Amino acid sequence: MDRSSEVCKLGWIGFTAFQALTPEGRVLVFDFPETAAVPRGWKEGDEVDILNPPASTAPDATAIGDRIYEVMHKKSGEKFRVRHPEWR
């Protein structure tokens, strides 16, 4: 199972979404599912690893192009999952 990964820095963190900034200057915005949120203690500027499993390995993907992204906090190792990122 091949997974691509990108180390980013957290930008703003809101109630319904959060922003990740790539070293190349791309801005990634991820919407939270209803029950998800960035874990406590994660702050703007922290490094996170955005893991993108291939579409065929996302067990709960419900539509074409729907992917599950796993976000790992580099400092603590904590992880959570988000779906439907908005790439800007």
This prediction's pTM: 0.72
Round to the nearest angstrom and report the end-to-end CA distance of the chain: 27
The position carrying tokens 């908005």 is 86
Look at residue 39 and give its three-state secondary structure: coil
Count helices and strands (H / E) in the chain.
Answer: 0, 7
Residue 1 pLDDT: 38
Query: Which CATH code of 1.10.1200, 1.10.260, 2.40.50, 3.40.50 fits the domain covering 4-87?
Result: 2.40.50
Residue 45 pLDDT > 70: yes
What tens digit of pLDDT does each residue of 46-73 get? 999 988 755 444 444 444 455 778 889 9
Q: Could you state, in order of their start, the residue ranges of all structural domains in the chain? A: 4-87
Q: Which of 5-9, 28-32, 56-60, 65-69 has the highest mean pLDDT?
A: 5-9
pLDDT of the residue at 46: 97
Q: Which amino acid is at 16?
A: T
